[in-house]
Structure 1
Amino acid sequence: MSRFNIRLAAIVLVTVLSAAGYAAAKGGGGHGGGGHGHGGGHGHGGAHFRSGGHGGGHYGRTHFRGHRAVATQNFRSGAPSSRALARSMRHTAALHSPGMRTRIAAGAALAGWHYGRSGSGWWRHGNGGYGWVGPLFWPFAYFDIYDYAIWGNGVGAPFWGYGYGDIYAGLFAPYGYDDLAFYLPPRASPGGPDTAMDRLAQMCGDDSRDIAGLPIDRIQQAIEPAETQRAALDDLASVSVTAARNIKAACPDKIALTAPSRLASMQQRIEAMIAAVAMVRPALDKFYGLLNDEQKARLNALAEDQQRRAAARRSNRSRSLVWSCDAAQPAALQWPTDEIEARLRPTDTQRPRLIALQDAGAKAAEMLKTSCPAGDTVTPPARLAAAGERLDTMLQAIKQVRSALDDFYGTLSDEQKAQFEAIGPRRTADQADTRRRHSRRYGF
């Protein structure tokens, strides 16, 4: 087996193992809310995913949905195949559980890392998930919006784990070129089994009604709607599917290889999510406004029951889906002043722009911290509105950092750009080296 195929098999193995426990999760609510929008541009550099594209570098002529190409090969004896991965991802019980989505994304984010199954990357969220999974920003974004809006903090808290740390990881990406190769399928016949890239595409957006649709039966059973209310609920479900299709259409079509193009990709993703909220809010407000007080109480009780179920599924040893919006920034997200100085050796002309970039990052972090809600919101319309406000703030933070980055990056030589892009991967490699030394020392 070639080294490349071994790497792809590793992705399949790690992600399947991460998703293998979905049956124990036993569901967790359907989904609504999608997104639309293509703003933000593509920035500098990047390699196309689409077959026949004109991307730069050695990653051209591939696509997120890829050539369906991985043969059923094992990374180790008894390892699941890519078909097993496809089966796991098709189970809506797994995808409807925030905890399982977190584990699936974590497995995919670290699939190319030696310590992917037991370690943790420096860009990890407080709940154990990852904002960046290879070239993809915000896996399962559609689900996270919906879970928070409909079910509340206990189920949808992953939404609030996104913030400045993800912008930082966009600036100083944890993945190098070789790491990103893990997320590309080899060429093969179109009739081959689903690939890891197919699964990455599903993390970006899925528009199937089984995935995107609201849990109509459960809501109807809880509130016993009148005819007018049932029609409004059907409209809300239809809008949610349309929004899901739009957010899928806004998924990136190329790998971003530079910091400017990564922030452009982030901006495009957030703009699509903002459009999703704008699309779903009127339908949700109309439906909720038609309910009487008793029906609203029943719907809120359904959300509380969902939160209790989610809490019961967590083991004492697992990390909770904690409310982490205003958590203190970890040391890993400190500005890499020394590394930038040593690697780039900025000139007197470049230094003011570098300082402006650092200041923009600090302001973005403060903006996002102060935008955290003071307490819980208890109704779906209020939660969806809060999600929209948070996304608006995140968009402004990204734009602010992106503007300063473009100004600074444009002054760099090719060598300086390469050195800048090497900061994040070097940190990832150093972390892996530290874990190896720790393992040898303590016999793990």
Structure 2
Amino acid sequence: MAPRPTPQIAAPSRPSAPPAASVRPEQPRETLSRQASERQGRIDHLQQRVQTLQSQKPEGARAQREQQRLLQSQNRLLEREQRVQQREQHVEQRQREMLSRQTAERQTRIDRLQQRVQTLQSQKPEGARAQREQQRILQTQNRLLDREQRAQQSDLARQQRLGLQAPAATVAAAGAARGRFGAHFRERPLAQTQAALVARHRGWAPRQAWRHRHHAVFVAWLGPVFWPYAYSDIFDYTFWSYAYEPGYWAYAYDDFVDTVFWGGDSPYSAYASTNPYDYPQAGGDTRARQRASVSPQTLQQLCGTPDKGVTAWPLDDITSAVRPTPEQRALLDALKTAAANAAGVFKDSCADTYALTPPGRLRAMMNRVSATLDAVKIVRPALENFYNSLSDEQQARFNALGPNIGDRSPRRQEAGAQEASAEGCGDPKSGLTQLPIQRIEAVLHPAGKQKEALDRLGEATAKGVEGLQAACPNDVPLTPVGRLEAIQHRLEAMLQAAKLVEPALDEFYATLSSEQKARFNTLQQRAGS
């Protein structure tokens, strides 16, 4: 029988200092903080032991030699820990410098790409071939820009994991579309995003956008008028939701909250994040997009006769398509009367001049939303009576009306409804609630009663946005009557949100000095400061 091998027993070794740990770039902030805290704790403990040994006065040569040996051992451990600490701090500093340099270089590339896109968009080439070439180059530049912006967001997330502080303007730009109702719609193909931007930037009414084969978008301001096309939108969206941007209501919510703090165009909106000059540039240079220009004639039509021109309801087209019976014609006449009465409530909701103060802007929006809600309440009963009187065939012909935009097939409309339902209504809306309050605090430096009033404004804003989230439906109703009912709920939520914010905003604004009010009134221009 072969002898059993003798087991090898390792000799005990003295405990040694922990090995030097290098700071890995992808270690999370909590891990690095814990490691640094533990190392500092060991250093403090070793320093205390060294001081204790140094204070002792042992008797006898042997005791003194033992004390000296222990002191040297503790000093070596202390020096080793301090060297590792210095090395970690040096590595972290190098990471800070590297990430800061990368962030600056990437922002420079983004700025350059945005300028190229802006230049291409401003060009008007002649001929189909030149237009196709321009479109190809524009798509390429947009793809590069989108790639750089995604990489920038990854860099910022990495800096956050490391606990590093990124430049404020870069953080604001990269986080522009996060925490907002319209955040989901930034991920669509660039061509769709650019088309929406063009329609909004030019302030097109739905019918004007459709003539250019664009979906209608939410236009927040046309000159001094908030939601200029509200009269036609509440009807056109009711029947032809497929002809509107899927994110129409998401952008409406964002604009409604944004306008209070930022004015006509927020530098952080989802639309702004697709345009080179819509959010702060590197170096703090802020270029705000100008509101779409409006002529006195257009303003008069929007305010004085909203049931005429590009905002008129196509009741004659409905009559031709449906061919109502005598009983149905009476109901259609009642709908026409309701439409005219609804147009009347808009006449007093237009402002002659653009409000330059946050409280003034809020009240202008409240007047407009209130008028729109009144119009819906006037039209809804007449619309329900007329639509419910139609046969299935008539309803089908009614639903087939509308602009030649997009695919109207049931499958496509169902997909559009799913896209619109993915608005992220339940996600935190920090971009609407926290960001403006933080910027106000950074720009105005409120103290004492001002700070308390600002805190109350932040709470009221958060409650108002919660109400908007609650009115955000999980899907788009499939019938016109259902869609108009959903519109009414949304308008009621917007008005309720405004009523929550109004007293808190008035209170805070009243506490400000003249200089602070001037800064608050131009908060958008100071967004990159």
Query: Do the structures match in fold with TM over 0.5?
Result: yes
Write the distance in 2 (CA, Å) between the matches of 1:255 and 1:352. 29
Matched, 1:404 2:493: no
**What amino acid does structure 2 have at the position aligned with 1:135?**
P
**What amino acid does structure 1 have at the position aligned with 2:477?**
T
Could you give the per-residue CA deviations for residues 75-97 of structure 1, whole angstroms, max 9, x where no partner exists?
Answer: xxxxxxxxxxxxxxxxxxxxxxx
Matched, 1:150 2:239: yes
Write the distance in 2 (CA, Å) between the matches of 1:376 and 1:280. 20
**1:167 alignment partner in structure 2:** 257
Matched, 1:273 2:372: yes
Write the distance in 1 (CA, Å) between the matches of 2:344 and 2:312. 11
**What amino acid does structure 2 have at the position aligned with 1:402?**
E
Could you give the per-residue CA deviations for residues 115-134 of structure 1, whole angstroms, max 9, x where no partner exists?
Answer: xxxxxxxxxxx986542344
**1:245 alignment partner in structure 2:** 344
- Whether the aligned pair in 1 keeps the contact of 2:307 and 2:340 (CA below 8 Å) is yes
Structure 1, unpaired ranges of 5+ = 1-13, 18-98, 110-125, 186-194, 314-319, 432-444
**1:106 alignment partner in structure 2:** 201
- Whether the aligned pair in 1 keeps the contact of 2:355 and 2:364 (CA below 8 Å) is yes
**2:306 alignment partner in structure 1:** 207
For residues 183-202 of structure 1, the aligned pairs below 5 Å read 196-202=295-301
Judged with a 3 Å threshold, the aligned counterparts in structure 2 of structure 1 residues 370 and 102 are, in CA distance, closer, same or farther, namely same
Write the distance in 2 (CA, Å) between the matches of 1:376 and 1:129. 17
Deviation at 1:266?
A: 0.8
Judged with a 3 Å threshold, the aligned counterparts in structure 2 of structure 1 residues 290 and 339 are, in CA distance, closer, same or farther, namely closer
**What amino acid does structure 2 have at the position aligned with 1:139?**
P
- Whether the aligned pair in 1 keeps the contact of 2:216 and 2:243 (CA below 8 Å) is no
Q: Aligned to 1:393, which of 489, 493, 510?
A: 493
**What amino acid does structure 1 have at the position aligned with 2:226?**
F
**What amino acid does structure 2 have at the position aligned with 1:310?**
I
SS at match of 1:310: coil
- Whether the aligned pair in 2 keeps the contact of 1:105 and 1:139 (CA below 8 Å) is no
Write the distance in 2 (CA, Å) between the matches of 1:175 and 1:160. 15
**1:287 alignment partner in structure 2:** 386
**2:317 alignment partner in structure 1:** 218
- Whether the aligned pair in 2 keeps the contact of 1:144 and 1:159 (CA below 8 Å) is no
Matched, 1:373 2:462: no
- Whether the aligned pair in 2 keeps the contact of 1:247 and 1:272 (CA below 8 Å) is yes
Q: Aligned to 2:461, which of 353, 361, 369?
A: 361
- Greater percentage in helix: 2
Deviation at 1:388?
A: 0.8
Write the distance in 1 (CA, Å) between the matches of 2:224 and 2:433. 19
- Whether the aligned pair in 2 keeps the contact of 1:102 and 1:129 (CA below 8 Å) is no
Write the distance in 2 (CA, Å) between the matches of 1:174 and 1:289. 40
Q: Aligned to 1:141, which of 227, 230, 234?
A: 230
- Whether the aligned pair in 2 keeps the contact of 1:260 and 1:406 (CA below 8 Å) is yes
Higher alpha-carbon Rg: 2
Deviation at 1:347?
A: 1.9
**What amino acid does structure 2 have at the position aligned with 1:143?**
S
Deviation at 1:156?
A: 7.0
Judged with a 3 Å threshold, the aligned counterparts in structure 2 of structure 1 residues 102 and 160 are, in CA distance, closer, same or farther, namely same
Structure 2, unpaired ranges of 5+ = 1-120, 125-193, 205-214, 267-286, 409-415
Write the distance in 2 (CA, Å) between the matches of 1:292 and 1:374. 29
**What amino acid does structure 1 have at the position aligned with 2:201?**
A
Write the distance in 2 (CA, Å) between the matches of 1:367 and 1:404. 16
Write the distance in 2 (CA, Å) between the matches of 1:289 and 1:199. 35
Write the distance in 2 (CA, Å) between the matches of 1:169 and 1:105. 15
| Percent identical residues | 35
**1:54 alignment partner in structure 2:** none
Write the distance in 2 (CA, Å) between the matches of 1:228 and 1:166. 41
For residues 246-325 of structure 1, the aligned pairs below 5 Å read 246-300=345-399, 302=400, 306=402, 309-311=404-406, 323=420, 325=423
Write the distance in 2 (CA, Å) between the matches of 1:184 and 1:216. 29
Q: Aligned to 2:328, which of 212, 217, 229?
A: 229
Judged with a 3 Å threshold, the aligned counterparts in structure 2 of structure 1 residues 209 and 101 are, in CA distance, closer, same or farther, namely farther
Write the distance in 2 (CA, Å) between the matches of 1:101 and 1:233. 34
Deviation at 1:207?
A: 2.9
Could you give the per-residue CA deviations for residues 142-176 of structure 1, whole angstroms, max 9, x where no partner exists?
Answer: 12111111223443753453114422222222579
- Whether the aligned pair in 1 keeps the contact of 2:328 and 2:386 (CA below 8 Å) is yes
**1:20 alignment partner in structure 2:** none
Write the distance in 1 (CA, Å) between the matches of 2:255 and 2:467. 13
Deviation at 1:413?
A: 1.5
Task: Give the number of the structure with larger relative contact order, counting CA–CA contacts within 8 Å between residues 6 or more apart.
Answer: 1
- Whether the aligned pair in 2 keeps the contact of 1:149 and 1:384 (CA below 8 Å) is yes
**2:158 alignment partner in structure 1:** none
Judged with a 3 Å threshold, the aligned counterparts in structure 2 of structure 1 residues 239 and 213 are, in CA distance, closer, same or farther, namely farther
Could you give the per-residue CA deviations for residues 200-253 of structure 1, whole angstroms, max 9, x where no partner exists?
Answer: 454557434455554334323433321110121122123213322331332123
**1:352 alignment partner in structure 2:** 452
**What amino acid does structure 1 have at the position aligned with 2:354?**
I
Write the distance in 2 (CA, Å) between the matches of 1:174 and 1:288. 37
TM-score by length of 2: 0.49
Write the distance in 2 (CA, Å) between the matches of 1:200 and 1:216. 23
- Whether the aligned pair in 2 keeps the contact of 1:172 and 1:423 (CA below 8 Å) is yes
TM-score by length of 1: 0.57
Write the distance in 2 (CA, Å) between the matches of 1:396 and 1:378. 26
**What amino acid does structure 1 have at the position aligned with 2:263?**
A
Give the total of aligned pairs.
296
Deviation at 1:183?
A: 8.0
- Whether the aligned pair in 2 keeps the contact of 1:164 and 1:368 (CA below 8 Å) is no
Judged with a 3 Å threshold, the aligned counterparts in structure 2 of structure 1 residues 239 and 248 are, in CA distance, closer, same or farther, namely same
162-171 vs 152-161, which moves further: 152-161
Write the distance in 1 (CA, Å) between the matches of 2:438 and 2:388. 56
- Whether the aligned pair in 1 keeps the contact of 2:338 and 2:379 (CA below 8 Å) is yes
Judged with a 3 Å threshold, the aligned counterparts in structure 2 of structure 1 residues 390 and 336 are, in CA distance, closer, same or farther, namely closer
Judged with a 3 Å threshold, the aligned counterparts in structure 2 of structure 1 residues 215 and 100 are, in CA distance, closer, same or farther, namely farther
- Whether the aligned pair in 1 keeps the contact of 2:224 and 2:351 (CA below 8 Å) is no
Deviation at 1:424?
A: 1.5
**2:524 alignment partner in structure 1:** 424
Deviation at 1:287?
A: 0.9
Write the distance in 2 (CA, Å) between the matches of 1:284 and 1:345. 52
Judged with a 3 Å threshold, the aligned counterparts in structure 2 of structure 1 residues 134 and 226 are, in CA distance, closer, same or farther, namely closer
